[in-house]
Structure 1
Amino acid sequence: MGRIVVSDNITIDGVVEDPAGDEGSRVGGWVGRITDRPQLDRLTLDEARGAEALLLGRRSYEWLAARWPSRTGELADRLNSLRKYVVSSTLEEPAWGNSTVLRGDGAAAASVLREELAGHIVVLASFQLVRGLFEQDLVDEIRLKVFPIVLGAGARLFGEAGHLRPMRLVDVQAIEGGVAVLTYERARASGTDGLRTNDER
């Protein structure tokens, strides 16, 4: 069985909307220039290397598909070669190589993928899809790159959840620019605290 891993850039107050600032929202652009952050680049590459596939909502898929196919380098090569699944009821011809359109309910499609694939199924951005996955208890791991800013407005990663979803903090990193990288796993009935910090790796 695969593991569904949510990976997102997020502000201290939980906003995920328009991090790059190219969607025209009032709060956009809070990530800044990621290209100036080699530690963040390395984390992104490591995550791509460890992924079996990407699972995306349509808007996030189209944003990524407009950028990565024309790029070169190790990260571009890895992302372009990965299997990609996009949840959409309207997308007919996905433009990014190795892409498959999943029709119907995103959570149901993700549940099937989870049964069929053996590795990490990484969900990038796609906060509306993430909410559905979380509501159906399909998220096994959450990786948050928390940027040191409070916006006070904007779409947040999680809406109003109907059920408690206890998570267990398993890894903490501090990288350049004051960014905290937090990794959580779905809490189960038993187990010990597996928290790892920078000093323990």
Structure 2
Amino acid sequence: TWNDEMQRFKEDELADSGAMLLGRTTYEIFAGSWPKETGDFAERFNALPKYVASTSLKALDWKPAELLKGALPDAVRELKQGSGGNIYVHGSLSVAQELLRHGLVDRVRLLSYPGAVGQGKPLFPPGEQVSLELISATPFSNGVVALEYAPVMGKA
């Protein structure tokens, strides 16, 4: 159940964001709903620059947005060099996996819920070991735990 602690966690995350990086599917889902939302959080979320990794999208209606060109790892390296802040990947599992593979992820932030459905897509690239160092673990009163990890490069 969503609560005030989770809301604060997401607000802090948003305040730390300089831009969003999204895959096509997540961009289309967000573009179909977020522009209709109101309030301070929605205004800030909608105003963030959005970088979209897609070879099939030709136009982006949810602005400000830019289609990334070329190979994703190269485009993200360039973004990180010129970024005015942290770039968050929301959803976009294939994007996150590719960035992990190429050592382009600085932090992994997860909300772990007290339950399991026994199915779903793996977060980490299948068949690859990803070493992580725990940065913080914050339990919320509803049983959810906010976890933050740093990938440890060169260590399997």
> What TM-score comes out, normalization by structure 1 length?
0.71
Partner of 2:13: 47
Give the deviation of 1:106 after TM superposition: 2.0
Q: How does 1:77-116 map to 2 (within 5 A)?
A: 77-116=43-82
Residue 97 of structure 1 and its aligned partner are, at CA, apart by 1.4
Provide the residue aligned with 1:130 in structure 2.
96
Cα RMSD (Å) of the superposition? 1.7
| 1:98 partner amino acid | P
Of structures 1 and 2, the one scoring higher in RCO (CA 8 A, sep 6+) is 1
Where does residue 31 of structure 2 map in the other structure?
Answer: 65
The secondary structure found in structure 2 opposite 1:178 is: coil
Report the Cα offset of residue 176 of structure 1. 3.3
From 60, 83, 102, the counterpart of 1:117: 83
Does the CA-based 8 Å contact 1:85-1:99 persist in structure 2?
yes
Match of 2:36, SS?
Answer: coil
**Change in CA separation of 1:58 and 1:176 when aligned onto 2, cut-off 3 Å:** farther
After TM superposition, the structure 1 = structure 2 runs for residues 160-175 of structure 1, keeping only pairs within 5 Å, are 160-162=126-128, 164-175=129-140
Equivalent pair of 1:94/1:100 in contact (CA under 8 Å):
yes
Residue correspondences, number: 154
Residue 173 of structure 1 aligns with an amino acid whose one-letter code is: T
How far did residue 69 of structure 1 move? Answer: 0.8
Structure 1 residue 41: deviation in Å?
1.4
**SS of match in other structure, 1:59:** helix
**Cα distance between partner residues in 1 of 2:122 and 2:131:** 18
What are structure 2's unaligned runs of at least 5 residues? none
**What percent identity do the matched residue pairs reach?**
32
Check whether the contact 1:85–1:100 (CA below 8 A) recurs between aligned residues.
yes
In structure 2, relative to structure 1, the CA distance for the partners of 1:89 and 1:73 (3 Å cut) is: same
